[in-house]
Structure 1
Amino acid sequence: MTPTILSLATLFLVFFAPYLRFGEAKTYELSEVKLNSHILQESIARQINENPEAGWEATINPRFSNFTVGQFKRLLGVKQTPRSELSSAPVVTHPKSLKLPKDFDARTAWSQCSTIGRILDQGHCGSCWAFGAVESLSDRFCIHFDMNVSLSVNDILACCGLLCGAGCAGGTPFSAWIYLAHHGVVTEECDPYFDQIGCSHPGCEPTYRTPKCVKKCVNGNQLWETSKHYSVKAYTVNSDPQDIMAEVYKNGPVEVAFTVYEDFAHYKSGVYKHITGFALGGHAVKLVGWGTSHEGEDYWLLANQWNTNWGDDGYFKIKRGTNECGIENAVTAGLPSTKNIVREVTDMDVDADVSF
């Protein structure tokens, strides 16, 4: 069955207004003392772990053991989407009659797709907005076309320019999907991520200038244009949890954005919900599933790009159904396109699931 596109009036009420509320958790102007203090605090971890209502476990994650609050903030690279883009964004819904499982994990549902289970590392660049989009599209090429291909975050980070935002200083997830639809993205083999060493080398500053757009594969035997893979159009998903689940169930992982507070840096396991600390910025990740904890709490399952030494081997769960930290307000995606693919795809019609 084909999802419907909401009318413009409904689009404004259902999507536009809630998306504005994505930034309602004010990111306060922090003092220099606060910005230069360590992001990981034993007092925060203790407050979480001693709270029986918290529902999750906190720890001093090795990934950020040497980070200040200011340095951590730079990784939170989601900028507000321009109104001009939101006003024309297709909003997808799915039939309420679709029966969905109580729990779902894209890693096991499509176990043949190696990219779904990969945990990457954005290093010390505010490139989360690009990671969430490129990772989701990579997964969808496998799900829909049976192609295990890793697409290049570096391409979109370096070459999207002002369309997406400011590279390592942040960008907008929906703009990233527009770039994927109009300009495509090369493979990771053609254009690997520029920051392969993360923040492990001596004297590392956790911020890097955006890499230059070279438009040339590192392997001389590959051509930039022929390595391009495209999305069909960019769209948003209605913020109703049922629609988000149906989108993931039918088409694969999606990109989501949410407000990050100080306590999130301390996440280890369980179902996260904000307990303490200031709001620091917006972050984008890949949503791969959902479920309900043994304690009866509904959650979303997400893959972060902070390596496996953060959280639950790089993954985290967040409360589902209450728009925790705005995570249900900003869901973006696109379907893989047959454009520029040499081999013929005969097993499906890419337009079958979404109408524009």
Structure 2
Amino acid sequence: MGFSFMPFTIFILAFSSPSSFFNIAGAETQPQHLSSSILNSPILKESIAKEINENPEAGWEAAINPRFSNFTVAQFKRLLGVKKSSRKELTSTPVITHPKSLKLPKNFDARTAWSQCSTIGRILDQGHCGSCWAFGAVESLQDRFCIHFDVNVTLSVNDLLACCGFLCGMGCDGGEPLYAWRYLSHHGVVSEECDPYFDQIGCAHPGCEPSYPTPKCVKKCVSGNQLWRKSKHYSVRAYKVKSNPYDIMAEVYKNGPVEVAFTVYEDFAHYKSGVYKHITGVALGGHAVKLIGWGTSDDGEDYWLLANQWNRSWGDDGYFKIKRGTNECGIEADITAGLPSSKNLIREVTDMDANSDVSF
């Protein structure tokens, strides 16, 4: 698929439901206070899988996914690392819309639309760290470098996770997608080769609980023949996408994958295939992933296609579909992105102080 810039409209975001986690009306979508007995129980339950698989209206298949076979509810909750941005920050963020004259296909998959971009089809694993907010941003940006500049590069989640500091949030204890994209705009992110992800084996060793600590910001490439500042890649100014299906589809169709945040319920851990919609269980937290396409199932259900970062043993080979057009679990309410910048390709920049607060 060829790429060409399309005009879009920018306006300032205004939310009408400030009390909700992802601008989803209703307190029932909020993560609930759970007892210690529930937190220490397995996240995967045969009873949940059975309830879904015996429900003819569910539209998706549940399974006991190997990825979380030994996880408790508390361990699973820690993966859901999206923090809510302040109303002030959200209302000052540009939001884009796309011309309604653009004709969009009924089905779209970024992996085939830009088949030359190998990063789009990668499925990663965030380990035991609540770093989804960083994965969604970095993965989307690296895809966009290939789409816009024909640059195939894998970028470092570790740089963003370790070096954004308190501005983005609390590292492995969660962060804000909007600030992740602002970091990418102002400070860039190095290549994965320069700064690989710290959790390659997961949290299996003694002493790693109750949480996996955030890696330290080192600002030095693991390879001696690479320079940190020369490995930086940047995005242009962070923006949100208007919360309606057409504008989200148009954004992905013209500019590439985007980061989305949504509310995760207990049943989502059991997803195997089909078009997900919440059936049972309490809200556990906010999760960020990469949206790469859309379509309509054989049963006539409109869906979004997304890449998760829980490795290929979870879900449909690491991917999942979720109902499109009804803001299922808030999936259409929090879309964040940024265009890749050419400045990372032509000039060096000054490193930020690893211990200082980032100022945008």
TM-score, scaled relative to structure 1: 0.92
2:91 paired with 1:87: yes
- Relative to structure 1, the CA distance from residue 101 to residue 115 in structure 2 (aligned partners, 3 Å threshold; closer, same or farther) is same
Q: What SS does the aligned partner of 2:260 have?
A: strand
1:306 aligns with: 310
2:336 paired with 1:332: yes
- What letter matches 1:258 in structure 2? F
2: CA distance, partners of 1:23 / 1:155: 36
1:3 aligns with: 8
Aligned 8 A contact 2:17 2:25 in 1: no
2: CA distance, partners of 1:232 / 1:17: 30
Which residue, 113, 120, 137 being the options, matches 2:117? Answer: 113
Residues 62-86 of structure 1 deviation map (CA, whole Å, 9 limit, x = unaligned): 0000000011000000000122321
1: CA distance, partners of 2:275 / 2:113: 22
- Relative to structure 1, the CA distance from residue 310 to residue 201 in structure 2 (aligned partners, 3 Å threshold; closer, same or farther) is farther
2:237 aligns with: 233
Match runs of 1:244-283 below 5 Å: 244-283=248-287
Residues 197-230 of structure 1 deviation map (CA, whole Å, 9 limit, x = unaligned): 1245577647310000000000010000010000
2:171 aligns with: 167
Q: Which runs of no fewer than 5 residues in structure 2 stay unpaired?
A: 1-5, 348-360
2:14 aligns with: 12
- What letter matches 1:4 in structure 2? T
1:51 aligns with: 55
Q: What SS does the aligned partner of 1:231 have?
A: coil
Q: What SS does the aligned partner of 2:345 have?
A: coil
Q: Which runs of no fewer than 5 residues in structure 1 stay unpaired?
A: 344-356
Q: How many residues align?
A: 340
Aligned 8 A contact 2:32 2:283 in 1: yes
Deviation at 1:34, TM superposition (A): 0.3
- What letter matches 1:12 in structure 2? A
2:219 aligns with: 215
Q: What SS does the aligned partner of 1:21 have?
A: coil
Aligned 8 A contact 1:14 1:239 in 2: no
Match runs of 1:284-295 below 5 Å: 284-295=288-299
1: CA distance, partners of 2:171 / 2:143: 23
Residues 113-168 of structure 1 deviation map (CA, whole Å, 9 limit, x = unaligned): 01000000000000000000000000000000001000000000000001100000
Residues 23-44 of structure 1 deviation map (CA, whole Å, 9 limit, x = unaligned): 8402110000000000000000
Moved more, 80-89 or 276-285: 80-89
Q: What SS does the aligned partner of 1:289 have?
A: strand
- What letter matches 2:99 in structure 1? P
1:126 aligns with: 130
Aligned 8 A contact 1:124 1:205 in 2: no
- What letter matches 2:9 in structure 1? T
* Aligned-residue CA RMSD (Å): 1.7
- Relative to structure 1, the CA distance from residue 107 to residue 22 in structure 2 (aligned partners, 3 Å threshold; closer, same or farther) is farther
Aligned 8 A contact 2:15 2:23 in 1: no
Deviation at 1:97, TM superposition (A): 1.0
- Relative to structure 1, the CA distance from residue 5 to residue 234 in structure 2 (aligned partners, 3 Å threshold; closer, same or farther) is same
Deviation at 1:5, TM superposition (A): 1.2
Deviation at 1:15, TM superposition (A): 9.2
2:324 aligns with: 320
1:178 aligns with: 182
Identity of aligned residues (%): 78
Q: What SS does the aligned partner of 2:306 have?
A: strand
- What letter matches 1:306 in structure 2? W
